[in-house]
Homo-oligomer: A and B are copies of this chain.
Amino acid sequence: MNILVVYSSNLNKSIIKEVFMKYKKSFYQIKSNETIFDSLKEEIDVIGYYNLPLQDTSKYKEFAKNVKQKDIAVIGIGGSTLGTFAIYQFLLRRKEYDKKLHFFESTDPTDIKLRLQKIDLNNTMFIVISKSGNTIETISIFKYFSSLVNMSSKNCVIISENDSKLTTFAKKHNMKTFEIPKNVGGRFSVFSAVGLLPLAIIGVDIDNMLLGAAKIRNNFFSQGSFYDAIMEKARFMVENKNRFNINVVFSYSTSLEGFNKWYIQLWGESLGKFNINGTRQGLTPLGLIGPVDQHSFLQLIAEGKRDKTITFIKVEDFEDDTTIPLNTMDGFDDLTYVDGLKFAKLIDEQANATIESVSNLKDIPYDVITINRVDEYNIAKLMFTFQLLTSVVGKFVQINTYDQPGVEAGKIILKNKLSYAKD
């Protein structure tokens, strides 16, 4: 039986216990920032991702420098690939790498076929990533590739939990293995071997990457300026979750499409849960790319229901000199104000104009994150900030941020369907 009691906010549990002989409740309060922070600090060695930025990276670099293949096939899905792809796609903006990453995620046969056309199977390094070691998509693709090319220690490396069947299999065949620690969830694993190994292989400066993540980690846990910003944003989102239940990330660069997808998994899968009181929680993530989605989704933001917050992400990187020329179209005298403008400046001003138009509407909560330089350090800062934000929001709404019980039912149904199909 639940007893409703009206009490002032400084009434704590022990007082309640004194007032009632027995007490049970099914409501909860949003706790204070300090309580949340203490609780996060307590789990700093329990939730594995917090300390990933501090790890020694020599084993990844050691392995990476011996990889001769130019094409690197990453076989994995969800948390095993989304973060790596996000960083890779973003960095391609500035730099061409000698080696290429190819991601095999889907069981869609057309997708597999189209991606296979881009690699030479006999001169490819395969990185197979599955935390549990029995992800159906990953294992199915790995099995298929194993029938096309001989997998050995020379062309195959495994990233999985230490005691998974996949790791055992790899060791039997003398393949190199890297561990995903049990306490690092898939969607929080980009700074583990999952992201570091493939990125190190193609030549990304993973130490600089971890420096960026560590910068945010240390600032947050010493309650610096990022702590204030993250707590304020998380608290706003939680206190207004019923009103603004959709959280849009509006990134002004096609090179952030991978980041958007990574964010959608992080936010959706971490926060879409029953909380300790059995109440459905969940903020819906949505990813947009500017300026393209100005011509798609912006109308809904401007005139639709006020149920969205927006985080604009801008890349303030003017090193690209591609310029709209002067008077190249004889007889066309419209839009002369773009003549002589750099595209980098144009897209930046498009972002500014959209932000200003949203700001003018007054009743849409938004914030703007500006990335000053396209490099490993800054994308890692951005991603670690979003991970911490997710952890804080999860604490506020009192859920387990790190599991995903809601997807198990479908897996069991699938297994039954397939086992039956084989009989």
Question: Which of A10-18, A50-58, A230-238, A317-325 lies at the interface?
Answer: A317-325
What distance in Å separates the Cβ of A418 from its nearest Cβ neighbour in chain B?
Answer: 5
Q: How far is the CA of A261 from the CA of B297 in the complex (A)?
A: 10
Nearest-Cβ distance from residue A275 to partner chain B, whole angstroms: 10
Given contacts A291-B106, A338-B140, A349-B421, contact A166 B354 (CB under 8 A): no
- Smallest CB-CB separation from A414: which chain B residue? B353
Is B302 within 8 A of A335, CB to CB?
no
Contact of A301 among B254, B272, B325, B344 (CB under 8 A): B272
Bound complex: CA of A406 vs CA of B296, how far in Å? 11
Contact status A407-B294, CB under 8 Å:
yes
**A293-332: which have CB < 8 Å to B?**
294-308, 320, 322-325, 328-332
Q: Is the CB of B113 within 8 A of A404?
A: no
Binds B, one of A62-70, A262-270, A375-383, A384-392: A262-270
Judge whether B110 and A146 touch: CB under 8 Å.
no
User: Which residue of B is nearest A132, CB measured?
Assistant: B334
Could you say which of A40-48, A211-219, A277-285 contacts chain B? A277-285
> Which B residues lie within 8 Å of A92 (CB)?
110, 114
User: Is A360 positioned at the interface, with any CB of B under 8 Å from its CB?
Assistant: yes
Which stretch of A74-82, A119-127, A192-200 is in the interface?
A74-82
Query: How far, in angstroms, from A185 to B332 measured CA to CA in the complex?
Result: 24
Partner of A407 from B111, B298, B328, B414 at Cβ < 8 Å: B298
Copies in the complex: 2
For this complex, into which size category does the number of interface residues on chain A fall? Answer: 35 or more
| A82 to B324 CA separation, bound complex (whole angstroms) | 24
Residues of chain B with a CB closer than 8 A to A417's CB: 349, 352-353
Contact B325 A147 (CB under 8 A): yes
A33 at the interface (CB under 8 A from B): no
In the assembled complex, which residues on chain B have CB atoms less than 8 Å from the CB atom of A136? 335, 338, 346, 350
**Contact for A304 among B169, B284, B305, B347, CB less than 8 A:** B284
Among candidates B173, B356, B419, residue contacting A337 with C-beta atoms closer than 8 Å: B419
Distance (Å) between the CB of A111 and the closest chain B CB? 4
A112 to B322, CA, bound (A): 9
Please, which residues of chain B bring their CB within 8 A of the CB of A271? 300, 304
User: Taking CB as reference atom, which chain B residue is nearest A275?
Assistant: B303
A342 contacts the other chain (CB 8 A): yes
Pair A303/B406 contact, Cβ less than 8 Å: yes
A292 to B344, CA, bound (A): 33
Residues from chain B with a CB closer than 8 A to the CB of A292 are 77-78, 105-106
A413 to B342, CA, bound (A): 18
In the complex with contacts A108-B343, A329-B143, A422-B337, A298-B410 CB distance below 8 A: yes
Chain B residue contacts of A422, Cβ below 8 A: 337, 340-341
For residue A356, give the distance in angstroms from its CB to the closest CB of chain B. Answer: 5
A–B Cβ pairs within 8 angstroms, 8 of them: A143-B339, A169-B332, A173-B331, A246-B284, A268-B297, A269-B295, A284-B300, A302-B409
Other CB < 8 Å A-B pairs besides A272-B300, A353-B413, 4 of them? Answer: A111-B255, A133-B334, A140-B338, A245-B307
